[in-house]
Structure 1
Amino acid sequence: MSTKITPFLAVAILFGFYHLYISLLRLFRPRLPYPPGPRGYPLIGDLFNAISNTHKGSKDINQHEWARYLEMGRKYSSDIIHVNVLGDHTLILNSAKAATELLEKRSGLYSDRPRLYMMSDLCGWHWNLATMPYSNKWRLHRRIFHQDFQAKAVSTYHPFILQATSNFLRKLVPIEYDPLHAPEIEHVDLESYVRDHAGSIILRVVYGITAQEDLNDYVRLAYLASESLIATMNHGSFFVDYLPWLKFIPAWFPGASFKQKANTWAPMVSDLANGPWKTLKSSMANGTALPCFATKNMEKFNLSNLDINSIENSNNLNSEPDMEEVIKNCSAIAYFGGSDTTVSLVMSSILALSHHPEVLKKAHEELDRVVGPSRLPEIGDRDELPYIDAIIKEVERIYPVTPLGVPHRVISDDVYEGYFIPKGTTVVPNVEAILHSEELYQDPLKFNPDRFLRNDKDSELPPNPELFSFGFGRRICPGRHFALDTAWVLIACLLATCDVTRPLEESQKGCRTPDPVLDYFDGEIAHPKPYKCRIVPRSITALNLMKAGYPSEN
């Protein structure tokens, strides 16, 4: 009696031999140690600590995720830390040296992203360019985005930045000019002004949206959707990132509160991607669309007449309907990124300035000398205003927008300084730890813009925070030039026209509370906790500048 080997059985046997070969290869390969870190237990690894730290809200600044990772590095006397949870490996990089070596010099191995099941699968952020896997699909999205947001292209958006900055200054104009009794500005009001400013620029640039009702709706939509991204973008923020099968359990199941959160967040994320896009398609259909990022790319690929619904079920990246999806995705991430990260940088800048009158005084002196009292600062003045640039760099350093960066994933086994890094490891650059390193920045917890000013030809400046705060290697943020130009104009104009101080009661009592360096909400994008400040026009002349704004021809 003979046994007939079917094609299926042959494939199964070959598959079995292959896995046996791989297992033996690993068994007899000289085994290097993992980097230092908690030993955990067999099979489950550091499971119990992961459970205790998964998506916990903390009011103690020392329990922020980046601070916990830094403390682990000190405990194990290493700038790289390895954590294993149920076979899911994570590598934390607490130094510029490690981040540069792995994420920059070995970017070919470290440019992938881990699968964030809570964020992408359950909340619907799968279209997010920043977290897409390293693939041809990502390259296509990146190329489309980069063409219109590279440094040379951003200058075409400067008129919109100046117009929005004029509107922002007018919102700050007091009813009566009274420097001694100017009202305090609550955080919630100030943040709404900053969000309106950032949102109006990016919505005009990306979708050509200018109607105030639409601007209000979409600025608020970006704010609501940001909660889900901030909460889910750090690998392991929710336990479903470690056990993907959990995404299939129903929301009513005991312990499935993460599904309830996802069910609340997902419609907002969907509206974020589709709401302004439908507005754009409607304006294109009736011939009222303004030239913008989306229309330019739609016309470039001859997609102006395609129906948005035709892209829903197509997966071939070479087909025209999918090019529309790519443009829609790029538009959505530009809209969201420009709406939230700029807000974080500006709100942190105002907070820092209100606590440092000595910095405010130096900024006023430089602006008065270079720009004078008769006009607002222009982007062309930037090279002549190094102290303003230094302030923004110091804000980026001491209050980084993304304290843990965006996680990377290694695509094959690697070795670093004698340690084994297995394929599939999630790699987390601890950006806040790097930017507060005493080796790179003297007295790192002190807010000191002067550190970025060259005192003589031979003096050596510390690293520019932008080397770390906007990502690494091939995954560096492609929208950084737009974000920095937007923030620079607003901060320069605010400093040129206003005093930014603490609340009057604190000033009168001579209250000197510690710098709120670490007093931030935890999450992927850092936002300062609510604060009050006083923003007062420096003079009647400055008040008139705020009312006038930039000339209309800009």
Structure 2
Amino acid sequence: MQTGISTLLAVGTFLFGLLHLFVSFLRRPRTVLPLPPGPKGFPIIGNLFNEISGYRGVPGSSSHHLWAKYLEMGKKYNSDIVHINVLGDHTIVLNSSKATNDLLEKRSGIYSDRPPMHMMMGLVGVHRRTFHQDFQPPALATYRPFIRQSTSDFLKKIAPTEYDPLRTPDIKHADLESYVRNHAGSIILRIVYGMTTQEEMNDYVQIAYLAAESLIATMNHGSFFVDYLPWLKYVPAWFPGASFKRKANAWAPAVSDLLNKPWERLKPLIKSGTAIPCFVTRNLERFDLVSSLDVDSDKTRTNTDPNMEEVVKNCAAVAYFGGSDTTVSMLMSSILALSHHPEVLTKAHEEIDRVVGSSRLPDLTDRKDLPYVEAFIKEVERMYPVTPLAIAHRVTISDVYDGYFIPKGTAIVANVWFVCFYHRAILHSEELYQDPLKFDPDRFLEDGKESERSPNPELYVFGFGRRICPGRYLALESAWNLIACLLATCDVIQPLKEDPKAMIDPVLDFAEGIIVHPKPYNCRIVPRSATALNLMKTGYPSEN
């Protein structure tokens, strides 16, 4: 009986889908102005079976990165703005800083919406809302003790028992990534949920790691067929071609844990008055929700907006995930870059020794006096952006740009990565950066001071317009603190027995997804001296 009902549901869904395609075809935009150039598709289905659609289920699709495919399109059609149509769903890719700035910044009033992400929101179960004021610069002073404590913990974990440079072992990628995840996770868990002990943080760092696979895979618009045809979410998981539904069912528990477990841990502490002040408690108080928080239910009894508790809960989960995984990506790329560029390491050592000395660790108060360290971080941001394809925007009304028609509801994707030595996007454009494939922090310096010749990559790597990442200041402060302390105390070099032919390319070898990570690598992190080793073991002075 159940199988028969499922079959009828599947057949009905399929017939509804055909009707949806036909109606979409009839409603396709008609205008005297052309759409931006792009691959020619078939009637009704458009570019569905082209590899550049973004849909990962296309038979025979290559493993070539999606941002590279988009750039190849730009080169083929000789345009910085290219168009893709899948089943009436329009996507426009921006491959230049000019087009990105013109649309997502100057016209942010109509380009700040998000396209529906049905795989992520409807099937996996998370949506993004946030409160900018909790992560703006004035709030950072409150968080700096947590950053220092987490940096101290990281240094202690990588410190060898004794100073013996010739016998310091390699650090395996899995161990290094674990230390970095604990560093980033402990900071955000303290800020968002008020967690203070490493024992309770460990489980929640692991939860974020398990949820990362699904969120990274589903946040690019069009990553799954259901993003184009949302009615497919009603198809049974056993239906042919419904592998996305099976993946969603497998991923949903981890995302549910990300959303609910730290929240449920905190609720009784809030009600008892023993919760440590944090992002959640401040926002519950801001909206007068504490007294009405129902510890035994997910429902809220309050005279205020009945959805506000859910907003705070979801916002906390997004900050929890986003604040950990993006920082992990940036730090792992930074360590990889240092291991491949000893000349950069030497310059950074010289600057820190001159400004800070060897008797203490660098602090955030030293940041303005260490321009080369700052330039190194900017070059990492430029060379290895955490999100090579910015999360898609959507235009809310039809628009015209550079003689091209942009239909209402079109998804807009800014491509900040590069494809090859012949055609590059924003952060690897020869128009913006001289010799863009060379890792060179000096491009951001001029006579030891900040240079205006090369645009700050932070203009592009944290999103655009009204959708710019609100956590960027916290991410940069926590990353700067760890990198500065690592540079002050250690040499970061390649493994002892690494085969040069087998080493990963620090430019090209990155995993696919909305947040990218370098592929696994090993390295050696060796204390610079016995004094440096002692600093690693003691960390920052206690602030209690």
TM-score relative to the length of structure 1 = 0.88
CA shift, 1:297, in A, is: 2.1
Aligned partner of 1:55 in structure 2 is 56
Q: Is the 8 A contact 1:315 1:322 kept in 2?
A: no
Q: Which residue of 2 aligns with 1:119?
A: 120
Q: How far apart are the structure 1 equivalents of 2:344 and 2:189?
A: 33
Residue pairs, 1:279-358, within 5 angstroms:
279-308=265-294, 319-358=304-343
Q: Which residue matches 1:521?
A: 511
- Given candidates 460, 472, 483, the residue that maps to 1:480 is 472
User: Alpha-carbon deviation of 1:476?
Assistant: 0.3
Supply the AA of the counterpart residue of 2:485. Answer: C
Structure 2 SS opposite 1:431: coil
Deviation (angstroms), 1:328: 1.5
In 2 relative to 1, CA 435–151 (structure 1 residues): closer, same or farther, beyond 3 Å? same
**Aligned match of 1:207:** 193
Q: Mapping of 1:366-445 within 5 angstroms?
A: 366-432=351-417, 433-445=425-437
Offset, 1:349: 0.2
The residue type paired with residue 302 of structure 1 is D
Distance 2:446 2:394 in 1: 37
Matched, 1:447 2:439: yes
Q: Which residue number corresponds to residue 484 of structure 2?
A: 492
Partner of 1:532, secondary structure, is: coil
Instruction: Identify which of 219, 239, 249 aligns with 1:233.
Output: 219
Mind listing any 5+ residue stretches in structure 1 that lack a counterpart? 1-22, 130-141
Amino acid at match of 1:362: K
Q: Deviations over 1:471-514 (max 9, x none)?
A: 000000000000000000000000000000000124xx887967
Note the C-alpha offset of 1:397. Answer: 0.5
State the secondary structure of the residue aligned to 1:90. strand
2:4 corresponds to: none
The reply on whether 1:106 has 2:85 as its aligned counterpart is no
Task: Tell me which residue corresponds to 2:204.
Answer: 218
Shift of 1:48: 1.3
**CA RMSD in angstroms, aligned pairs only:** 2.6
In the comparison of the two structures, how many residue pairs are matched? 512
Cα separation, 2, equivalents of 1:217 and 1:192: 12
One-letter code aligned to 1:520: F
Q: Which deviations, in whole Å up to 9, do the C-alpha atoms of 1:370-423 show, x marking residues without a partner?
A: 000000001010010000001100000010000101000010110000000000
Unaligned runs of 5+ in 2: 1-25, 418-424
Question: Is 1:207–1:292's contact at 8 Å kept on the other side of the alignment?
Answer: yes
**Native 8 Å contact 2:28 2:88 kept in 1:** no
- The answer as to 2:86 corresponding to 1:65 is no
Distance 2:120 2:478 in 1: 28
Q: Which residue number in structure 2 is paired with residue 469 of structure 1?
A: 461
- Residue in 1 that maps onto 2:8: none
Determine helix, strand or coil for the equivalent of 1:493.
helix
Offset at 1:515?
4.1
Moved more, 169-178 or 411-420: 169-178
Distance 1:457 1:298 in 2: 44
- Rate the CA distance shift 1:455–1:211 in 2: closer, same or farther, 3 A: closer
CA distance in 2, matches of 1:459, 1:335: 34
Contact 2:184 2:327 in 1 (8 A): yes
Q: What letter is aligned with 1:233?
A: M
Paired residues of 1:311 and 1:324 also in contact (CA < 8 A): no
3-state SS in 1 of match to 2:534: helix
8 A contact 2:444–2:450 mirrored in 1 = no
In the TM superposition, residue 210 of structure 1 has moved relative to its aligned partner by 1.8
- Which residue number corresponds to residue 17 of structure 1? none
Q: Which moved more, 1:222-231 or 1:38-47?
A: 38-47
**C-alpha distance in 2 between matches for 1:243 and 1:78:** 28
Q: 2:421 corresponds to which residue? A: none
- Structure 2 residue identity aligned to 1:301: F
Q: AA paired with 1:386?
A: P
Mapped contact 2:294–2:301 kept (Cα < 8 A)? no
Give the distance between the partners of 2:406 and 2:492, measured in 1 at CA. Answer: 48
Return the alpha-carbon distance in structure 1 between the equivalents of residues 201 and 478 of structure 2: 17
Structure 1 residues 121 and 57: alpha-carbon distance in aligned structure 2, compared to 1, 3 A threshold: same
Aligned-partner residue type, residue 169 of structure 1: L
- For 2:173, the equivalent position in structure 1 comes to 187
CA contact under 8 A between 1:37 and 1:76: conserved in structure 2? yes
State the Cα distance separating 1:236 from its structure 2 match: 0.8
After TM superposition, give the deviation of residue 460 of structure 1 in Å: 3.8
Residue 552, structure 1, aligned to residue 537, structure 2: no
Q: Is the alpha carbon distance of 1:514 and 1:194 closer, same or farther for their aligned partners in structure 2, counting shifts above 3 Å?
A: closer
Give the letter for the 1:192 counterpart. S
Map Cα deviations across residues 214-251 of structure 1 (whole Å, 9 max, x no partner). Answer: 20110000001011111011111101111111110011
Return closer, same or farther for 1:99/1:308 CA change in 2, 3 Å cut-off: farther
Contact 1:218 1:276 (8 Å CA) reproduced: yes
Q: Which segment drifts farther, 172-181 or 301-310? A: 301-310
Q: 2:522 aligns with which of 509, 516, 532?
A: 532
Please report how far the alpha carbon of residue 25 of structure 1 lies from its aligned counterpart in structure 2 after TM superposition: 13
% identical aligned pairs: 67
